[in-house]
Amino acid sequence: MMAELNPLSSCRSGLQPYPPTTMFETKKLTKYFGGVCAVNALDLVVGEKEIIGLIGPNGAGKTTVFNLITGFIRPSGGSIVLNGENLVGKKPHTIAERGIARTFQIAKSFPQFTVIQNMAAAGHLFGGAGFWEGIVRTPRYRRKERNIQEHSMRTLSFVGLEAWKDAIAGTLPHAHQKLLGVAMALAAAPKLLLLDEPLEGMSAEEVDRALEIISAIRAQGIAVLLIEHNMRAVMRICDKIVVISFGEEIARGTPEEVKQNDEVIKAYLGAASYAE
Amino acid sequence: MSRKSVANLALVVVALLMPAAARGNEYYLHVYMMCAINTIAAVSLRSIAKTGQMSIGQAGFMAVGAYASSILATKMNLPVYWAMLMGGFASMLLAALIGFPLSRIRTVYFVTVTMFLGEIIRLVAFEWRSVTGGSTGLESIPPPAAFSMGILHVNFANRIYFCYLALFVLLFVILILYNIERSHAGTVLSAIGQEESLSASVGINVASYKVLILCVGCFFTGLAGSLYAHYMTVLNPDAFSIFTSLYVLIYVVVGGRAFAGPIVGAVILTLIPEIFAALKEYQPFVFVLILFLVVFLLPGGLTDLPRRIRESAGRTSAGEAG
Amino acid sequence: MLWQGLMNGLSAGWIYVLVALGLTLVFGIMRTVQFSHGEIYMLGAHTVYYCSVAMGINMIASFGIAAAALFLLGVIIERLLFRRFRGQIEPSIIVAIGLILLFQTVAVIAFGSNEKTVPRLIPGVLTIGEIRIAWDRVLTMCVGAGAMLVLFAFIKGTKLGQAMLASSQDPEAATLQGVNVNHVSAVAMGTGSALAAVAGGLMGSVFTVEPFMGSFAITKGLAVIILGGMGSIGGAVVGGLVLGLVDGVVSLYSSMTMAYIVGFALIVLVLIIRPKGLMGGD
């Protein structure tokens, strides 16, 4: 049922299982804003097909980490390595080209475009024609346009938004806007997907559906780094979790390990939220 | 053919016939020429401004094209057709040089910087006597060479041929910019104008696209300047003041966001001063009134009017039915 | 010779400060650049001219009338035109552009486009050693410094002033604390316009008054607030004086156009180096 989403990913299904390679990692990632340390020597590791959760109280610096990884902010120190290449200092669009895509805490889309137009823009890396190519409508150009259209519709179906393709993005209900954000991030055929609170504001059914989609994303060979406050969802879907508070890591491990960690319980008010 | 295509074709035919119809009437031909030149500048500015680069320095780019073309034609004896093209390239070169620094500057500052740029270019034209003739400017700028094609004898001493030249350049500009707009690049440019950081996240090289459209737009704007120079045969810095830049922006705003917007805006606002010629002194008042009416009451511009009328008509009948 | 240039530059600098103060006040509170600020300066100059020359009113009163009249005009345009688009950059800019055209045309029709002179405020020249400064210019510096002090006192000392400060730093928090943003915006626009009017009058007495003098003011004002920091009053003062000094010195050795070009390059440099990136800044 899930359409082939990521033609660029390697297909491992027939091979012997082996431990995930370190596809992506940050080493001692640090960011100071003036005198305030927002992120302090953070080490993250994301292997292929892994879903890693990044959790912590509000203001812990999680979104800052995303901004650092995607190149919107320059780190004060440390490195960000994707498949052996250090991405520090590269511009956001280059990092997207390398294979890192993201969603935003407050869902962003191109407000004047329809959903399918949003996807056409987001599909730029997938196969968008160059600046000059559209001036004369060659068969090659038409082919590229058709490819993007097909790819866009496939991605929309993947997240379940195909019925909304002609709706103006700004008019979508909240949960659909979030899904559109995910679809747009997927349109670039990334290797690593950064999801910033994708489940925020969703009802229980919407959360279940979203988690299915995230699992399906992993099945396509895309690794996920997930910021979320919905603890039950995090525990359900993440392979490993990193807990940060005030920009520093205070715990890491599997969901089981993290649930029982005293530091973590202390950092969060209401240990009851962990009880499954 | 769709209704829209038929309408467009009809307009092109009308535009083609008008200079011929006005043959002999120097005044009408002059107005037609100014409409064409203003429209080229307006259409170019709209494409540039789509990415959020709202420039109030376009007169500067026209000046670069005008002076470059005139100087090449007079002092270097370059054939005028080539000189005019080089005028466009000169303007594009300037855009390329400052485009990258400019692409990183946000709207409010961008407007300021383009204002400064336009003023500096005018000042340079004013002060650099040896090259630009200073405040007196340049004279005896030659028209393009005459030629014959069968029974057609084109001699630019007759204004009508200038009008057709300008029209063909305009149609060419419209064709290129419209095709860019409709293509994937147009989607990207519009995306950049709506949400720049989101565009970067999905892998769009925002700076490159902004600079590219700036270069293309300024090339055409420079061409408009070249046409102006060779048509008027005299040139001085007063023609390229901040007002010229502001007027071009006003054409775009009044016309509206649609591709046809700047065309409608430029034509109507070029005609109005001529229609109200008696009130020549008070003409800026009319401009400002129209501008404020559009900004406050009709934000989508004049080209949005049909849609607004349809919407309120729809509302009224729904109200009656309910 | 150099000192003379510096002195001239200093007096010009205070005029820049007066213009920039108004611009930065409006930007800080309304988050928009009032591009027609230069035209307000021009109208102020014309009001002073009209009052003092055509109607024979004494200079101080003329300046008072000009300040009051343009204060009123500032409040009116804020209420009628800018309020609707508060927070929206592009429409605000377009409205300001419309006002530029409007004010210039009014000035040309009402006052004529020839240059007019306002009588010297204080005749004579102050001589310190080798330096000669016209008393007018000294007065300009005093008025400029005085206006700045009054503004500081107003902002630090009065409730309204404090409200304006709060608004410029954090509009949302200010509203939550009960600050009436409409009120504050109107006063900001009015005050800024009054300052510009005084600056125009001073400049008019040192040079001439004509309908196109506004572009000089807006250019200098914008340069100052970009260099000194948009929204910063201290920046407007420092930036204005620095720019005045630079202009004074550069014009001794080179042409005004060169000064413009150098200033332009400086501004572009400042705008790039300061983090105005996609997700940083305002």
Q: For residue range C155-181, what is the model confidence (pLDDT) as tens digits?
A: 888 888 888 888 777 777 888 888 888
Instruction: Identify all chain A residues contacting B256, using CB atoms and an 8 Å cutoff.
Output: none
Q: Output the pLDDT for position B317.
A: 61
For chain B, the residue count is 322
Q: What is the pLDDT of residue B61?
A: 97
Average pLDDT, chain C: 83
- Residue B232: its pLDDT value, please? 93
| Chain A residues inside the 8 Å CB shell of B201 | 70, 92, 96, 101-102, 185
Percent of chain B with pLDDT over 70: 98
What proportion of chain A, given as a percentage, has pLDDT over 90?
53
Average pLDDT over residues A56-74: 90
Q: Tell whether the model's pLDDT for residue C92 goes beyond 70.
A: yes
- What are the structural domains, with CATH classification, of chain C? 2-273 (1.10.3470)
Mean pLDDT is lowest, of A84-88, A116-120, B208-212, C169-173, for C169-173
- In the predicted model, is pLDDT for residue A128 greater than 60? yes
Kindly list the residues from chain C whose CB atom is less than 8 angstroms away from the CB atom of residue B285: 102, 105
Give the residue-averaged pLDDT of C69-91.
Answer: 91
Average of pLDDT values for C225-237? 81
Supply the pLDDT for residue B1.
62
Segment C65-85 shows an average pLDDT of: 93
Tell me which chains share at least 3 CB pairs under 8 Å with chain B. A, C
Is the pLDDT assigned to residue B143 strictly greater than 70? yes
- Which residue type occupies A221? G
- Cα C84 to its chain centre, rounded Å, is 24
**Model-level pTM?**
0.89
CA B30 to CA A171: how far, in whole Å? 48
* Whether B133 contacts B234, CB under 8 Å: no
Q: How far is C271 from chain B (nearest CA, A)?
A: 7
What percent of chain C is predicted at pLDDT more than 70? 96
pLDDT for residue B66? 95
At B86 the pLDDT is: 96
Give chain B positions within 8 Å (CB) of A120: 184, 187
Domain boundaries, chain B: 3-241
Please determine, for residue C201, whether its predicted confidence score (pLDDT) is greater than 60.
Answer: yes
Closest by Cβ to C271, choosing from B54, B105, B206: B105
- For residue A47, which phi and psi values (nearest 5 degrees)? -90, 170
Residue A274: pLDDT over 80: no
Structure tokens that stand for B306 in this block: 């049909």
CB contact under 8 A, A128 and B188: yes
Q: How far is CA B261 from CA B181, B214, B300, in A?
A: 14, 19, 9
**Residue B316's pLDDT band (boundaries 50, 70, 90)?**
low
C-beta separation of C225 from C20 below 8 A: yes
Handedness of CA A100, A103, A104, A107 (dihedral sign): positive
- Please give the sequence-ordered ranges of beta strands (E in DSSP) within chain B, or none if there are none: 147-149, 152-154
pLDDT above 50: residue C278: no
Domains of chain A listed by start with CATH number: 22-274 (3.40.50.300)
Which residues of chain A neighbour B182 with C-beta distances below 8 Å?
A: 134
pLDDT tens, residue by residue, A147-161 = 999 999 999 999 989
pLDDT of residue B8: 85
Nearest CB neighbour to A122, from listed B182, B185, B202: B202
| Predicted local distance difference test score (pLDDT) of residue B318 | 59
Residue B319: is its pLDDT beyond 60?
Answer: no
* Mean pLDDT computed over B286-292: 92
Least confident among A48-57, B26-35, C25-34, C89-98: C25-34
Q: What is the ipTM of this complex?
A: 0.86
Please indicate whether, in this complex, the C-beta atoms of C226 and B112 are within 8 angstroms of each other. Answer: yes
Q: For residue C93, what are the contacts with CB-CB under 8 A and spacing of at least 6?
A: B54, B107, B108, B111, C32, C33, C35
Give the separation between CA C271 and CA B101, rounded to whole angstroms: 9
In this prediction, residue A3 carries a pLDDT of 43
CA C263 to chain centre: 18
- pLDDT (tens digit per residue) in C113-151: 888 887 777 777 777 777 777 787 888 888 888 888 888
CA distance C281 to C275: 6
Mutant choice from B109, B244, B283 vs C, greatest count of C C-beta within 10 A:
B109
Mean pLDDT, range B120-140, rounded to an integer: 85
Query: How confident is the model over B234-284, as pLDDT tens digits?
Result: 998 989 988 899 999 999 999 999 999 999 999 999 998 888 777 777 888
Average pLDDT rounded to a whole number, residues A214-243: 91
Average pLDDT, chain B: 90
pLDDT at residue A148 in the model: 92
pLDDT on residue C274: 66
CA distance A140 to A129: 9
Residue C266 half-sphere exposure toward CB, CA atoms < 13 A: 18
List the helix and strand counts (H, then E) for chain C: 11, 2
pLDDT surpassing 90 at residue A190 = yes
Mean pLDDT of B165-184: 95
Structure tokens, A59: 């203001």
C-alpha–C-alpha distance, residues A110 and A121, integer Å: 9
Greater pLDDT, C258 or C276 = C258
Mean pLDDT highest for which of B58-67, C18-27, C106-115? B58-67
With a cut of 60, say whether residue B28 has pLDDT above it.
yes
